Structure 1
Amino acid sequence: MSEARSGSSVIPDDAPVAALRRGELVESVHRGRYAVVDPGGAVIDSLGDPAGYVHMRSSAKPFQALPLVFSGAADAFGFTDEEIAVACASHNGEPRHLAAVRSILRRVGLSERDLQNGFHPPMHAPSAARLLKTGEGPRAIHGNCSGKHAAMLAVCIHAGWDPAGYRDPGGPLQGLILRTVETVCGVEPGGVKLAGDGCGVPVFALPLKGMALGFARLAAGGFEGFPDDLSEALLRVRDAMRTHPYMIAGTGRLDTKLMEGTALIAKSGAEAVFAAANTEEPHWGVALKVSDGAGRALAPAAVGALARQGVRVPRGFSTSPVTDLRGETVGETVPLL
């Protein structure tokens, strides 16, 4: 563990994971760390400090969606697998994404006004342009987390909890989600640290190897000793993500392309966090964090980590082109793993 400190936090050891090359020179280097873990918790491969804490950010969404299934809400309201998938999404705000979120809300008797995730324009540029042409501003449903928030509202309605308080870190829903993350990711009670995510709900920090473990168990559909309802929820969320990869991100996005072209489940997060897992035998999960949070380094670093496990990634993500103001390629970000 490095002795470098920021405030009261020890900065975990890391190493070069990606570099920007311009001409004949390496212009910039991005550092990071990753861990590959099997469902029993054995570390198969790692770089840097796998025990250092990392905020899961949106990589936590598949676990935040689990109560939607094991609470019985998904069956009670008749949610489709596509709707379960959008509950795990950082979606582009394309029409199919919005339709699925609206369907969740309609099934539980709520509306867009009940979403508390904030707003931003659709991440899909053509969808953002169409919205702009209508003269309307972005609303909460266009936010990439709206599926997650709609699912949280659904759990509250099913359980009889006040939906207005679904974001409360001390409320019953967020407490249930926290306990679920602890269980699936193998963290002792009290071992997950909480902060605020960009969409207004708690974000979870845990050891990087714990995040990889959670994804390994998601891919395996549970682990020995898990309650039946939790294992069934893991299987259903996993299968929804695999069956509807477009709903997890959307056009041109890394997570969607990986799931379309491999046997992986995958979920990226803000500040250059990435997690994936192999749904075929042998099951394993990988979690990666680019230390400086640079999005341009995420796909090359992820591709490098996956290649070490023998995964052949679809073309177009192994490097990230760097263009000038005329759109001409002048460099590229490449993996160093």
Structure 2
Amino acid sequence: MTQPVAMTEVWRGPFLESIHLGHAVICDDTGQIVRSWGDPNALIYPRSSCKMIQALPLVTSGAAAKYGLGPEHLALACASHSGAAIHTDRVSAWLDHLGLHDDDFRCGPQEPSDMAARDGLILADVRPCQTHNNCSGKHAGFLTLAQHMGAGPEYVEIDHPVQQACRAAFEEVTDESSPGYGIDGCSAPNFATSLLGLARSMAWFASAADRSDRQSTAAQQLTAAMIKHPELVAGEGRACTELMRAMDGRAAIKTGAEAVFVAIIPEKRVGVALKIADGATRASECAIAAILVGLGMLDADHPATRKFMNAPIHSRRGIDCGSIRPTQNLLAPL
């Protein structure tokens, strides 16, 4: 098996302090590897990077149309949001529309990462609820699908029709049989795949406009919703939101826990998937930015790019100490 390769470096002053190793794959719409780093066949959990795949049955089943879901709902179904008011207000309204409540979620409560929302809860002496969970949009999608199917309330169980539909969609678009699953932080199953399979699925999304089947039409809707509403996919200051804005609607990107990142690039009909071996988000954000620069999707000098690629490291007094940089092998034009 090919070992992970150096992808991100952390410099302090004139010396290299740390190195993050990982794997990455760029795949075209025929399923072929355009370029890879490390081991394309590395087995990974995609974590939240695959939420657009998990949202496919919501659309293909007719549930999204039946319940009048629009691009904002679909963006939230693909989101790992910050728990800001723009996220939780919309998820709460979605639940109300279904006639459901926070207790119907199975994702668990989570403190918002959005500072204003977190401080508001503290000042009000209110505990976070499940709607604040970064995956509550995905779970609202699961609940919508479950209601449409007439299925039971325990929608995160592996044998529930919702999760069986998610697995079928996952294996179809990765073109692989998943060897198994783990339980994600939001309590839903997360199916394992090779990094190549994940990149292949993103290329399938990227080329969806070339096809007219129901699954591909759903993929177009989900990708368009992410691109239209980057602020709902993550949140202010987050890499997904800022880098999608910097690309002016040319690509959809999505992070996942433990330093997974994917990109859907329709104009090039390619998909990208990467995984940093040690799970460091600072490294995955830097690496995806560098790959997008190499693909000509991001301007290396854009302020958003500079925030994550060659990101400055400052002391607590604001002194410039160093930077987080991609390795040279990520920087060559692709």
Which residue number in structure 2 is paired with residue 301 of structure 1? 287
Q: Does 1:318 align with 2:309?
A: yes
For 1:298, give the aligned amino acid: S
Which residue number in structure 1 is paired with residue 58 of structure 2? 68
CA shift at 1:102, angstroms? Answer: 1.2
Between 314-323 and 43-52, the greater mean CA deviation after superposition: 314-323
Which residue number in structure 2 is paired with residue 31 of structure 1? 21
CA shift at 1:145, angstroms? Answer: 0.4
Report the Cα distance in structure 2 between the residues aligned to 1:100 and 1:231, rounded to whole angstroms: 26
Q: Does 1:177 align with 2:163?
A: no
Three-state SS of the structure 2 residue aligned to 1:234 is: helix
CA shift at 1:330, angstroms? Answer: 1.4
Report the Cα distance in structure 1 between the residues aligned to 2:22 and 2:72, rounded to whole angstroms: 33
For 1:172, give the aligned amino acid: P
Which residue number in structure 2 is paired with residue 84 of structure 1? 74
CA contact (8 A) 1:34 1:305 kept: no
Report the Cα distance in structure 2 between the residues aligned to 1:264 and 1:223, rounded to whole angstroms: 16
CA contact (8 A) 2:258 2:281 kept: yes
CA contact (8 A) 1:277 1:286 kept: yes
Which residue number in structure 2 is paired with residue 5 of structure 1? none
- Structure 2: where are the runs of 5+ without partners? none
Which residue number in structure 1 is paired with residue 234 of structure 2? 249
Three-state SS of the structure 2 residue aligned to 1:200 is: coil
Q: Does 1:275 align with 2:265?
A: no
Q: CA RMSD in A?
A: 1.5
CA contact (8 A) 1:299 1:319 kept: no
CA shift at 1:325, angstroms? Answer: 3.2
The 5-angstrom pairing of residues 198-277 of structure 1 reads 198-221=185-208, 228-262=213-247, 263-277=250-264
Three-state SS of the structure 1 residue aligned to 2:110 is: coil
- CA offset digits 1:236-257 (Å, max 9, x no partner): 1111111111110010111111
CA contact (8 A) 2:163 2:189 kept: yes
Identity %: 36
Q: Does 1:193 align with 2:180?
A: yes
Report the Cα distance in structure 2 between the residues aligned to 1:265 and 1:117, rounded to whole angstroms: 25
Report the Cα distance in structure 1 between the residues aligned to 2:312 and 2:191, rounded to whole angstroms: 32
CA shift at 1:327, angstroms? Answer: 3.9
CA shift at 1:301, angstroms? Answer: 1.3
For 1:28, give the aligned amino acid: S
Report the Cα distance in structure 2 between the residues aligned to 1:158 and 1:293, rounded to whole angstroms: 37
Which residue number in structure 1 is paired with residue 271 of structure 2? 285
CA contact (8 A) 2:106 2:154 kept: no
Alignment TM-score, normalising by the size of structure 2: 0.92
CA shift at 1:137, angstroms? Answer: 1.1
CA shift at 1:222, angstroms? Answer: 6.2
CA shift at 1:317, angstroms? Answer: 2.0
CA shift at 1:176, angstroms? Answer: 0.7
Which residue number in structure 2 is paired with residue 10 of structure 1? none
Aligned residues: 321
CA contact (8 A) 1:91 1:250 kept: yes
Report the Cα distance in structure 1 between the residues aligned to 2:318 and 2:122, rounded to whole angstroms: 24
Which residue number in structure 1 is paired with residue 87 of structure 2? 97
- Which of these residues, 125, 132, 154, is aligned with residue 135 of structure 1? 125
